[in-house]
Chains A and B, each alone.
Chain A
Amino acid sequence: MDEEGKMATPPPVSLSAEHIVKHFGGVVALADGNLDVQSGEVLALLGANGSGKSTLSKVITGVLEPNGGELVLDGEVVNFTSPQAAQKRGIAAVYQELSLIPDMTVAENIWLGHEPLKWGVRIDGQAVRKRTQELLALFEGTVQESLRPEEPVSALPPDERQVVEILKVLSLNPRLIILDEATASLDSRQVRRLFELISSWKEAGKAIIFVSHRMEEIFRVADRAVILRNGKSKGAEVIAETTEQQLVNLMIGDVAAVPRQLAHDPVPPDAAVRLQLEEVYTDVLRGVSLSLKDGELLGLGGLQGQGQTNLLRAVFGDIPFFGTIAVSGELVRFSQPRQAMRHGVAYVPGDRGSEGLLLSRSILENFQLPSWRRYGFPLRMERAKQDANRVADTLSLVRSSLEASAQNLSGGNAQKVVIGKWLLRQPQLLLLNDPTKGVDVGTKREFYNLLAELRRAGTAILFYSSDDEELLGLCDRVLVLHDGKVSAELSGERLTRSDLVTASMGAAQDNDRVPDREVAA
Chain B
Amino acid sequence: MRNRLQLKYLPLRFPSLFPLILLLVAVTVNAILQPNLLELRVMNGNLRSFLPLMLVAVGQTLVIIGAGIDLSIGAIVSLVTAVLVTNLLPDSPPLVIIGVVALACAAGMAAGALNGFGVAVLRLPPIVTTYATGFIFSGLALWILPRPGGSMPEQLARLYRRVTPLNIPLGIWIALILILLWALFRHTRYGSYLIATGGKPEAAYATAVPVNAVRFGSYVAAGLFAALGALVLTLGTGSGDPRIGVGITTTGGMTLDSIVAVVLGGTRLSGGQGGVAGSILGVIILGLIRNIISFADVPSWNQTLVDATIIIVALAAPGLIGWIRDRRRRALPPKEMVQEVAG
B188 near A122: Cβ-Cβ < 8 Å? yes
Instruction: Tell me if A520 is interfacial: C-beta within 8 Å of chain B.
Output: yes
Kindly provide the distance from the CB of A279 to the nearest chain B CB, expressed in whole angstroms: 8
In whole angstroms, how far apart are the Cα atoms of A168 and B203 in the complex? 12
Report A74-112 residues with CB < 8 Å from chain B CB. Answer: 83-84, 87, 98-104, 108, 112
Q: Which of A224-232, A253-261, A280-288, A474-482 contacts B (4 or more CB under 8 A)?
A: A280-288
Query: Is B339 interfacial (CB-CB < 8 Å)?
Result: yes
Q: B190: nearest residue on chain A (CB-CB)?
A: A121
Choice from A83, A152, A155 contacting B208 with Cβ under 8 Å: A83
Beta-carbon contacts under 8 Å, A276-324 to B = 281-283, 286-287, 320, 322
Q: Which residues of B contact A98 (CB under 8 A)?
A: 203
A115 is an interface residue with CB less than 8 A from chain B:
yes
7 pairs, A vs B, C-beta closer than 8 Å: A113-B207, A115-B192, A152-B9, A152-B12, A155-B2, A282-B334, A519-B340
Tell me the bound Cα distance from A83 to B209 in angstroms: 12
Contact call B204/A101, Cβ cutoff below 8 A: yes
Contact A281 B196 (CB under 8 A): no
The CA of A152 and the CA of B6, in the complex, are separated in Å by 12
Provide the residues of chain A in CB contact with B339, threshold 8 Å: 516, 519-520
Q: A400 an interface residue at 8 Å Cβ cutoff?
A: no
Residue numbers in A under 8 Å from B334 (CB-CB): 281-283, 322
11 further A-B contacts with Cβ under 8 Å, apart from A101-B272, A123-B188, A320-B329, are A101-B200, A102-B199, A102-B200, A103-B273, A108-B195, A112-B192, A115-B189, A123-B187, A155-B12, A516-B339, A519-B342
Return chain A residues, CB-CB under 8 Å to B189: 113, 115, 117, 121, 123
Among A84, A103, A115, A281, residue most surrounded by chain B Cβ atoms (within 10 Å): A103
**Beta-carbon nearest neighbor of B203 in chain A:** A99
Q: Which A residues fall within an 8 A CB radius of B?
A: 83-84, 87, 98-104, 108, 112-115, 117, 121-123, 125, 144, 146, 152, 154-155, 168, 281-283, 286-287, 320, 322, 335, 516, 519-520
Q: Which residues of A contact B273 (CB under 8 A)?
A: 103
Interface residues of B in 76-135 (CB under 8 A from A): none
Residues of A contacting B4 in the complex (Cβ-Cβ under 8 angstroms)? 146
Query: CA of A322 to CA of B184 in the docked complex: distance in angstroms?
Result: 47
Chain A residues whose C-beta falls within 8 Å of the C-beta of B8 in the assembled complex: 155
Chain B residues near A286 (CB, 8 Å)? 336
B188 contacts which chain A residues (CB < 8 A)? 121-123
Bitwise interface map of B from 125 to 156 toward A, beta carbon under 8 Å scored 1, else 0: 00000000000000000000000000000000
Q: Are A322 and B199 in contact (CB under 8 A)?
A: no
Residues in B161-177 with C-beta less than 8 Å from chain A: none
Q: Which residues of the partner chain A approach B204 to less than 8 Å between Cβ atoms?
A: 101, 112
B35 at the interface (CB under 8 A from A): no
Interchain nearest-CB distance for B192 vs A (Å): 6
Residues in A whose Cβ lies below 8 Å from that of B199: 101-104
**B-chain residues with CB within 8 Å of residue A125 when the two chains form the complex:** 187
Q: How far is the CB of B231 from chain A (nearest CB, A)?
A: 27
Q: For the complex formed, measure the closest distance between the CB of A73 and the CB atoms of chain B, giving whole angstroms.
A: 19
CA distance A117 to B199 in the complex (A): 22
Given contacts A113-B209, A123-B188, contact A320 B330 (CB under 8 A): yes
Chain A residues with Cβ below 8 Å from B200 are 100-102
With an 8 A cutoff between CB atoms, is B324 at the interface? no
Among B196, B208, B209, B343, the residue within 8 A (CB) of A519 is: B343
When distances are taken between beta carbons in the complex, the residues of chain A under 8 Å from B209 are 112-113
CB distance from A316 to the nearest CB of B (A): 15
Complex Cα gap A320–B327 (Å): 10
CB proximity of B265 to chain A, nearest CB, Å: 16
Interface residues of B in 321-343 (CB under 8 A from A): 329-330, 333-337, 339-340, 342-343
| B159 close to A (CB within 8 Å) | no
A114 CB, min distance to chain B CBs, angstroms: 8
Shortest distance from the beta carbon of A212 to any chain B beta carbon, whole Å: 21
B206 within 8 A of A: yes
A123–B333 contact, CB under 8 A? no
> Which B residues lie within 8 Å of A152 (CB)?
9, 12-13
Closest 3 CB pairs of A and B: A101-B199, A519-B343, A99-B203
Minimum C-beta distance from A388 to chain B (A): 34
Given A99-B203, A322-B334, A520-B342, CB of A84 within 8 Å of CB of B187: no
Q: Do A87 and B1 have beta carbons less than 8 Å apart?
A: no
Q: Which of A101, A146, A281, A282: most chain B Cβ within 10 A?
A: A101
- B203 A122 Cβ-Cβ under 8 A: no
B208 touches A87 (CB 8 A): yes
Contacting A154 at CB < 8 Å: which of B12, B195, B333?
A: B12
Chain A residues positioned under 8 Å from B207 (CB to CB):
99, 112-113, 168
The smallest C-beta distance from A392 to any residue of chain B, in angstroms, reads: 36
**CB proximity of B186 to chain A, nearest CB, Å:** 9
Contact status A281-B9, CB under 8 Å? no
CA distance A287 to B199 in the complex (A): 33
Q: Which residues of B contact A100 (CB under 8 A)?
A: 200, 203
B306 CB to nearest A CB, Å: 32
Give the residue among B4, B208, B209, B330 with the most A Cβ atoms within 10 A. Answer: B208
Q: Are B203 and A146 neighbours in the complex by a CB distance under 8 Å?
A: no
- The answer for the CA separation of A485 and B334 in the assembled complex, in Å, is 15
Cross-chain contact of A103 among B187, B272, B340 (Cβ < 8 A): B272
Nearest A-chain residue to B12, judged by Cβ: A152
Q: Closest chain B residue to A284 by CB distance?
A: B334
Tell me if A104 and B192 are in contact (CB < 8 A). Answer: yes
**What is the distance, in angstroms, from B7's C-beta to the closest C-beta of chain A?**
12
Within the complex, what minimum Cβ distance (angstroms) separates A122 from chain B? 6
Taking the closest CB of chain A, its distance from the CB of B30, in whole angstroms, is 33
Using Cβ atoms and an 8 Å threshold, which residues of chain B touch A87? 208
- Nearest CB of A to B111, in Å: 27
- Segment 287-343 of B: residues with Cβ below 8 Å from A: 329-330, 333-337, 339-340, 342-343
**Beta-carbon contact of A104 and B196 below 8 Å:** yes
Please measure, in the bound complex, the distance between the C-alpha atom of A155 and the C-alpha atom of B334, giving whole angstroms: 16
Inter-chain CA distance A113–B334, complex, in Å, is: 36
A281: chain B residues at CB < 8 Å are 333-334, 336-337
Cβ contact within 8 Å between A104 and B195: yes
Contacts of A84 in B (CB 8 A): 208
Q: Which residues of B contact A123 (CB under 8 A)?
A: 187-189, 192
Q: Give bound CA distance, A121 to B193, whole Å.
A: 13
- Docked complex Cα distance between A340 and B48 (Å): 59
A98 to B207, CA, bound (A): 11
CB distance from B335 to the nearest CB of A (A): 8
B339's nearest neighbour on chain A, judged by CB, is A520
Task: Tell me how far the C-beta of B304 lies from the nearest C-beta in chain A, rounded to whole angstroms.
Answer: 35
Name which residue of chain B comes closest to A517, CB basis.
Answer: B339
Find chain B residues with CB under 8 A from A117 CB: 189
CA distance A168 to B209 in the complex (A): 14
B59 to chain A, nearest CB (A): 21
Q: A121-B188, A519-B340 are in contact. Are A113 and B1 (CB under 8 A)?
A: no
B343 touching A520, Cβ below 8 Å:
yes
